[in-house]
Structures are given as structure tokens and as C-alpha cells.
Amino acid sequence: MVYHWQSHNVKLSGVDDMVLLPKISEDAIVENLKKRYMDDYIFTCIGPVLVSVNPFKQMPYFGEKEVEIYQGAAPYENPPHIYALADDMYRNLLIDNESQCVIISGESGAGKTVAAKYIMSYIARISGGGARVQHIKDVILESNPLLEAFGNAKTVRNNNSSRFGKYVEILFGNGGQPEGGRISNFLLEKSRVTMQNLGERNFHIFYQLCTGASVNMKKDFGLCQLDYYHYLSYGGSHKVEGTNDAHDFQETLKAMNVMGLTDQEQSNILQAVAGILHLGNVMFLEKGNYSEIQDQNALAFPSFLFEVDQNHLQSKLTSRRFDSKWGAQSDTIDVTLNVEQALYTRDALAKGIYARLFDYLVKVSITLSHAADVEVLLSKSRLVLHLSFS
């Protein structure tokens, strides 16, 4: 049994860096990854590229001990680890004063989101700074559970799949301490708001709100059992093994507090989420080839939560306005929709509201520094995390 000279009780399994394989082939690479995976080594290098195999369980080597081992160590002193990759990027950023980028790519369930978390948490641990810098670190780290609640969902392959892509920038001062950051999102899977495949769920926040809201919040938002909501009925099951939605809701509220959202802003956000759930329960019936609201009571709550006139919302769901021009003349025509068109309009409204709500949360998450600092920060080095969507 052979051990790395610096790492204690670390058995060598397969080849740490697959450029050292005697024969480079697909079978040899897969066999090496499998051998290491069976020995609970999920990280393997291919030169500067780190390959990670999702173990679907909590591994024991992400604590303070590992931070101390990899901080400042040479690349080949220790076994491959995401901390080694993060440390190498951070040191290059400080020494060369050049921006660094890591692209995290893989299929759904490969562990991209968790990998980004570990990189950001490692950088937050080893970089210095005072109280203001610590606040920025907190905001950077707490942006994860907030965006996960609104942008992640259970799929058939992954219980916490990111249904959006994101581009994260962390900006550093001359001393290596984080001074700000930005997050850009793209490709949010809006269709999930109104429909999911069998065995999947809607975005986490809907289940968190229904199960974790306080009694007063449930009363104010008219929240009921999960089975009551049409938009949550497609997947077949609301439960996810190993997930406590009520507990996660408290983590989401904590993240909102760290982001600096006021109680009123938090209430407005959750009010919009509840409004989307109630909007999905608005059904239509056909009358003379045109659509009508089946139950006015079902329309009352989304109107109340969206703070719009009920008659106005009804008009927008069951009719469409066309503006036409003939030369200098213009005319406006209201066309009544059939049931199929009304359902499409309802779903389009729900997806549009959710997409704008998500964009707002991303905007909140990227406001990590005072406006006066932005021009200065843009001229400083940055670490970029790019998570591809799959």
C-alpha cells in the first residue's frame, strides 16, 4: 500500500493524472475512473482538467483539514481535488494579476452546482478581509440556496437539478479579498412552471412555500395542500427522498435576509409565487365557441395576490387586443379567445411572471458592492465560474 508523501492515510488508486496512463483510450480512461470511484476517489486529473464523478453521497474530504492541506500546496503534492483546482486559480490570480475562469460542464446530475459551491466556499475560506469583506463572502455563498430554490427542481435523473445556466463573476481587490461579484443567468426552463414530466417536480420554491410557510402567511396567501394546485399535479409525487422542503424554506428566507431583502420585499416575492400557483387553478369553459372563466372564485385569489382588478385580469385571459393601421387611421379590436387559447394565455402569463421574478432575484444577488465601487472593481482581477446548462 502506497501513500502520498504529504497526505496521510490516502491510498493510491489507479492513476491520479490520466496523461500518465500507459495507453490512452476510452476503455482505459473509463476503467481508471471506475477503479478510483469504487475506492471513493471521485476526482481525477487529465492535465489541467479535473474530472469529477458524482458519488451521490456526502464525502468526508471537504472539511477544514482538506482546506489546510491544499492551501498553497503544489499541484502534485496531494491527490486530485476541487480545492487544488480552486487554490491554483486563486494563486494565479494573485501572482499574475490576471482574471481566471473555470468552466464546469457535464450532464444533468453530474454535480456542476455542488462543484461551484465548493469552489466558492474554498475561496471564501482562504481569502482575507474584514467585516465588509465577510459580508460580501456571505452574500456570494448565500446566493446559492436562494437561486437554487427558484431555479432548481427534481428531475428523473437528479433531485436538485439546475434548470438554468449561470455565469458567476467574483471580483477581487489587490490584496486578494473579494470585493464584489456579478451573476448572469440564461436559459431558465420556464415551461416547468406550468407542466412537468412524470416523476419530476416544479421548482423547489413552490413546495417550500406550501409546506414551510407560517400560519399567517398561509392565511394571507390562501395556501392549501400541494394536491390542490394544478401546476403541481403533473409529476405524480411531491416528495423527494432526503429533502425537507419546510426546512429548506427557512434556508431560503435566511438567504433573503443575507441578501439584504426587507421583510416587505420578501413578502412581495412570495406573494407572487403564491399568485402563480393560484393562477394555475383558473379554468375555462366553452360558451358559443368562446371561453369563459369557469369559477370566478378561482380568479379572485390571483387577482388579489397580483394586486390587479379581477375584471381586468379576466379580460386579459379571455381576449386579445389587436391594433391595426390603415394609412393615417388606426383601429383597436378585442378578439375573444377560445378555451385552448385562453389556457395558453394563462400559462404564458404564469411563465412570464416567474421569469421576471427570477431575473429580479438574480439582480439582487449580483448587487454585492456599493454602486460607487463598481467602476474600480471592473479594473481588478476576477474569478469567473461558468456553469453550463443540461
Counted residue by residue, the chain has a size of 390
Calculated CA dihedral for residues 128, 130, 132, 133, nearest 10 degrees: 0
Q: Is 287 annotated as a binding residue?
A: no
Q: Is 112 annotated as a binding residue?
A: yes
Q: Is 255 annotated as a binding residue?
A: no
Burial readout 13-26 (b: 16 or more C-beta within 10 A, e: otherwise): bbbbebeeeeeeee
Rounded CA-CA distance 316/303 in Å is 12
Q: Is 218 annotated as a binding residue?
A: no
Q: Write out the chain in H/E/C secondary structure.
A: CCECCCCCCCECCCCCEHHHCCCCCHHHHHHHHHHHHHCCCCEEEECCEEEECCCCCCCCCCCHHHHHHHCCCCCCCCCCCHHHHHHHHHHHHHHHCCCEEEEECCCCCCCHHHHHHHHHHHHHHHCCCCHHHHHHHHHHHHHHHHHHHHHEECCCCCCCEECCEEEEEEEECCCCCEEEEEEEEECCCHHHHCCCCCCCCCEHHHHHHHHHCCHHHHHHHCCCCHHHCHHHCCCCCCCCCCCCHHHHHHHHHHHHHHCCCCHHHHHHHHHHHHHHHHHCCCCEEEECCEEEECCHHHHHHHHHHHCCCHHHHHHHHHEEEEEEEECCEEEEEEEECCHHHHHHHHHHHHHHHHHHHHHHHHHHHHCCCCHHHHHHHCCCCEEEEEECCC
Q: Is 106 annotated as a binding residue?
A: yes
Q: Is 23 annotated as a binding residue?
A: no
Q: Is 111 annotated as a binding residue?
A: yes
Query: Which of 152, 263, 131, 130 is closest to 207 using CA atoms?
Result: 152
Q: Write out 150-213 in H/E/C secondary structure.
A: HHEECCCCCCCEECCEEEEEEEECCCCCEEEEEEEEECCCHHHHCCCCCCCCCEHHHHHHHHHC
Q: Is 107 annotated as a binding residue?
A: yes
For the annotated binding site for ATP, the residues are 106-113
For the annotated binding site, the residues are 106-113
